[in-house]
Amino acid sequence: MSIAEMANAAAGLAQFSPAPSLLEIGDSFWLSAVLKIAVVLAVFFVVPLVVGYMEHKVMGHQQARLGPMEAGPHGSLQLVADGIKFIQKEDLIPSAADKWVFAIAPGVAMVPAILIFLVLPLGPGIWGVDFELGLFYALAVGSVTTLGILMGGWASANKFSLIGGLRAAAQLIAYELPLILAGIAVALQAGTLSLVGIVEAQSTFFIPGTEINLWYLFPQILGFGIFFIAAMAELARPPFDMPIADSELVFGYMTEYTGIKYAMYMLTEYAGMVSMSALMVVLYLGGWQLLPGVPMPGCGGSGNIFDCNALGVGLGVAVTLGKIMLLTFLMVWARTTYPRLREDQLQRFSWLVLVPLSLLNLAIIAVAKGVF
Amino acid sequence: MTGHDLAFLVVALVTGGGALLTVTSKNLVHAALFLAVTLSGIAGVFLVLAADFVALVQLVVYVGAVAVLFLFGLMLTRAPIGREALDNQNRGLGIAVSGGLFVVLSVLVIGAFGGTTAAEVGGPRVGDIGMVIFNTWVLPFEVLSMLLLAALIGAILLARRETGDSGEEQAPTRIDMGTAPSMEAERMARLEGGDDQAELTAGGDPGPAAGRGEGRA
Amino acid sequence: MATTSPPGVGLLKGLGVTIKQMFKPAVTQQYPHVKPDLPPRTRGVIALMDENCTVCMLCSRECPDWCIYIDSHKETVPPAKEGGRARTRNVLDRFAIDFALCMYCGICVEVCPFDALFWSPEFEYSEYDIDKLLHEKGKLREWMDTVPPPPALDEGADAPGEVATAIEKANQELEAAKAKAAEEARAKEQGEQAPAAGDAAAAAPAEPEVKAGEIDQETFDRLIAEGKSERIARSKAKAAYVKKEKQRLKEQAEQQAAAAPAAEEPKVEAGEIDQETFDQLIAEGKSERMARAKAKAAYVKKQKAKLRAEAEQAGGGDAVEAPAAEGSGEAAAGEAAPSAAPRKADIEVEGAGEIDQETYDALIASGKSERIARSKAKAAWVRKKKQEQMDAEGDA
């Protein structure tokens, strides 16, 4: 039970009734909390590793290489080995660095990345909290990561780090706008900011006058494109990796970081890929719904994708993770295909292309919503 | 003392401590970072008071945008990298002004909401906030947005000084180019087309006479 | 942004390139797990066939890095014949190559006049200690086991000089034997006064002289049919007859020769191992692979020693000088046969424009293009001419 729920209960304002999470254990607040934290942390630490491995292999094969092959069968434990290596490494802090800021910066970047997972629905009933402001929460918390990157860039006492940090900040501010505007269009169409509510709205969205169920991907294909590009830029993924830009900035804000702190930054990036993909799955790809209009086996409720039995839950989680992997694969694909943009091209693209387009998208959706 | 009170106390202490460190910190960037802590603490206070929407707005606007822009500006302009200190000497004045402000605000807030307790403050729903803003308070809201627009345009004017005054080209600020022969100096001399620009390249070669002649023609 | 195609097409094309590449096989070599397939001439490590080394020091002197170290001493060999002069011989004490210095130019392998140095494609001999890169004689000898056989000759190529001379020598011996047999037969003939028809028939084909008057009817007919004058046709047909006869005789001789030297060739089977050495090494706790390799080497060495001893016993002092290298199959024949006849390449043939009609016809019949057939036939003609001249000289 979140603070918001408590407040709602206290005020007698119960118009928004959060969908129950399957992770609740009876009425016990603390046990449920521990379970939810465990699930969130497990997802946070495992799924990004899978995505990272997928990236290694996909990039390898797209570049006529094999990718990792030694650690585990076909290198499947490569990232585990990397993690062990990072833990063993000496924790270097440059003598001119601002030690405290330097030390806490990766944490400031990583904690919001963990917190986002709290509201992401991974399957029917598999979410930490069905927060009324879920979408806004995810985007708001995600914006704090910028602070951690900026801190790390400045505290390293390294000009490359500083430039990287500044670029990261400029980029995140520039692309947060189209990201949020595209998200708002979805919220507008769904009539709710709750992520579970958006999934439900998609499962019950029909083309006006017909019985054909559609995901928001189809009416909002423009919004999806904007969100996808902005998400890649938010995560500083190539071709938008100017904050890291290893050919010009060594490694940007991560230049001076080693060992576990560096691993935290990297984990933040990959967890960001997962959480952004999960957001896109929820906003545009119908959450855990198998295909538009297809009821989930073993499920009932609204759109036939709620109130599931064990089979439905397992299948739902698998579908969500599959969609996440598909979207992260697209990100990796773009990474191997396109060269890095220039910093001014990046800014121009955001302010002159994506922001007007996302405003246009918002206007179209608003008008359509009013008409139908 | 309930858990609620305890949570509020912790958040309030963090906020207060952050605020105090913001003004006492000798390092400009540290001060900005403590400001970010303070602003997050305020978001926490909103959360404890069940105003989750406002808390998130606080987070996205103040922590995610304002504090970041603040740091951004500092780092771009005057903050030394690493742990060098910059200190402002106006401590006494600062203490006086902030102390006075604190007293005034405390009196006002206690006078207005003194009797209520946290449990009675129900957080309104997002929808309600939206209805209120875009119905009852739509005019003040739009006026406020005009204020932001004005600030935006002002920033643009400041940033693009040459085209400032009614779009007329203003003479750029002249910089003493020193003794080194400079392409830029030559270019400017040709543009202005006068020998009165000789001080631009004072002591240096003012450029080939033929080239200048061409420039004039 | 002045593009002819609509914007975004290039972006999609780029995605197409990467996704296509994704399903093509990777070019990565899984090296430690899968050994690279190296060409036979790979310059991996230099192997030493120490039996072939005469301590001429050419390699050491030519080495640009001065990374070859050779020590030797002289031994006096007792005279081969009673009352002859005692000879001295260089004995190799140390032969070492410092692979820390070596730059793999291969000059030593090139200059070695006695086929004692070889390239091996083996390359996995890096060490933690730079001193261990100095490979001594024993180790260099071990690399010899990894030297691949030389690449096969091109089809239709001349036999290597040493092989050709060996064949030549065998031919000569054979002919000498035949001549002797014929003489004996004649003696017998004279003695018995009763010429045995069978003997004469048998001796006739062995006669190296070809009767000059005969003509090759086939050639003659063909030439006449082609409209040549009779005189020309006759002379050419005569030549053709001689050529054919010679060819036939030569083939016969070669067949016999091939059978004869094979028996006396002191060949050492490469696959055999020296059981004694093998057992000993296994007992010492060496790995089986290593033991097997060393035992192989030991076997080869022993056999060589045995052969050399035999040769010494048989031929006295002189035989020692002849390298006993026949042991290893590849390094074989070598300088064993003294070049009694001039090499083919040294013979000049006039009239390079002529072609060998027979070859030409055969090639055209097998569907080759005219150009190829003509050039090959030309080559065949030259070869035949050379052979003829050599035969003639041999006869002389």
Give the phi and the psi of residue C98 in degrees, each rounded to 5.
-90, 100
Beta bridge partners of B149: none
Of A97, A139, A144, the CB nearest to B63: A144
Q: State the amino acid at position A285 in one-letter form.
A: L
Question: Nearest to residue A281, comparing CAs of A181, A357, A199, A361?
Answer: A199
pLDDT in tens, A274-317: 988 989 998 888 888 887 777 777 777 666 677 777 777 888 88
* Residue B122 exposure: Cα atoms within 13 Å on the Cβ side: 12
Q: Over pLDDT 70: what percentage of chain A?
A: 93
pLDDT of residue C332: 40
Query: Contact A337/C15, CB-based, under 8 Å?
Result: yes
For residue A50, being part of any structural domain is answered with: no
For residue A38, being part of any structural domain is answered with: no
Query: Contact C14/A338, CB-based, under 8 Å?
Result: yes
| DSSP string computed for B45-98 | HHHHTT-HHHHHHIIIIIIIIIIHHHHHHHHHHTPPSSS-----S-HHHHHHHH
What's C87's DSSP letter? E
Euclidean distance between CA atoms C15 and C181, whole angstroms: 85
For residue A14, the chain B residue with the least C-alpha distance is B125
What's C4's DSSP letter? S
Euclidean distance between CA atoms A339 and A306, whole angstroms: 43
Asked if A194 contacts A18 with a C-beta cutoff of 8 angstroms, the reply is yes
Structural domain tally of chain A? 1
For residue C17, the chain A residue with the least C-alpha distance is A337
Given phi > 0 = left and psi -120 to 50 = alpha, else beta, which region is C5? beta
pLDDT of residue C174: 92
Would strands C117-120 and C87-98 be described as parallel, antiparallel, or unpaired?
Answer: unpaired
pLDDT at A264 over 50: yes
pLDDT of residue A301: 67
Asked if A158 contacts A94 with a C-beta cutoff of 8 angstroms, the reply is yes
Q: Cα separations (Å) of A3 from A141, B48, B51, B53?
A: 17, 7, 9, 12
pLDDT at B104 over 90: yes
Residue range(s) defining the domain that contains residue A108: 92-371
Architecture per CATH, domain B3-91, reads as Up-down Bundle (1.20)
Which one is predicted more confidently, B217 or B122?
B122
Q: Over pLDDT 70: what percentage of chain B?
A: 65
Query: Contact A10/B122, CB-based, under 8 Å?
Result: yes
For residue A58, being part of any structural domain is answered with: no
pLDDT of residue C287: 63
Chains C and B touch each other (3 or more Cβ pairs < 8 A)? no
List of chains touching A (3+ CB pairs within 8 A) = B, C
List of chains touching C (3+ CB pairs within 8 A) = A
Greatest C-alpha distance within chain C: 111
- CB atoms under 10 Å from CB of C52, counted, come to 21
Euclidean distance between CA atoms A357 and C63, whole angstroms: 72
- CB atoms under 10 Å from CB of B86, counted, come to 15
pLDDT of residue B181: 54
List all residues of chain A from 81 to 120 with a beta carbon under 8 Å from chain B: 96-99, 101
Give exposure, B172-203, as e/b (b: 16+ Cβ within 10 Å): eeeeebeeeebeebbebbbeeeeeebeebbee
Query: Contact C18/A336, CB-based, under 8 Å?
Result: yes
pLDDT of residue A71: 84
| Average of per-residue pLDDT across B1-13 | 83
Query: Contact A172/B68, CB-based, under 8 Å?
Result: yes
Query: Contact A147/B53, CB-based, under 8 Å?
Result: no
Contacts of B79 in chain A (CB under 8 A): 154
pLDDT of residue C343: 45
- The answer to whether A14 faces chain B, any CB pair under 8 Å, is no
Contacts of A64 in chain C (CB under 8 A): 21, 24, 26-28
Euclidean distance between CA atoms C233 and C219, whole angstroms: 8
Task: Specify the DSSP element, H or E, that contains C96.
Answer: strand C87-98
For residue B118, the chain A residue with the least C-alpha distance is A7
Asked if A193 contacts A136 with a C-beta cutoff of 8 angstroms, the reply is yes
Greatest C-alpha distance within chain A: 68
Euclidean distance between CA atoms A322 and B163, whole angstroms: 54
For residue A61, being part of any structural domain is answered with: no
Contacts of A195 in chain B (CB under 8 A): none
pLDDT at B14 over 80: yes
Q: How far is A226 from chain C (nearest CA, A)?
A: 15
pLDDT at A354 over 70: yes
Asked if A165 contacts A106 with a C-beta cutoff of 8 angstroms, the reply is no
For residue C15, the chain A residue with the least C-alpha distance is A337
Handedness of CA C58, C60, C61, C64 (dihedral sign): positive
Euclidean distance between CA atoms A266 and A248, whole angstroms: 19
For residue A137, being part of any structural domain is answered with: yes
For residue A69, the chain C residue with the least C-alpha distance is C30
User: What string of pLDDT tens digits covers the 396 residues of chain C?
Assistant: 455 667 778 888 888 888 888 888 888 888 888 888 888 788 889 999 888 888 888 989 999 989 999 999 988 888 877 878 888 888 888 999 999 999 999 899 999 888 889 898 888 888 899 988 999 988 888 888 888 887 777 888 877 788 888 888 899 999 999 999 998 888 887 776 654 444 444 444 444 455 556 677 777 777 777 766 767 777 777 777 777 777 777 777 777 666 554 444 444 455 566 677 777 777 766 666 666 666 666 776 777 677 777 666 665 544 444 444 444 444 444 344 444 444 444 445 555 566 777 777 777 777 777 777 777 777 777 777 777 777 776 665
Q: Which of A341-350, B5-14, C204-213 shows the lowest mean pLDDT across its residues?
A: C204-213
CB-defined contacts A:B, below 8 A: 118
What's A85's DSSP letter? H
Reported ipTM: 0.78
Q: Which two tokens stand for residue C118?
A: 């070889």
3-state secondary structure A40-56: HHHHHHHHHHHHHHHHH
Question: B197 CB contacts (<8 Å, ≥6 apart)?
Answer: B185, B188, B189
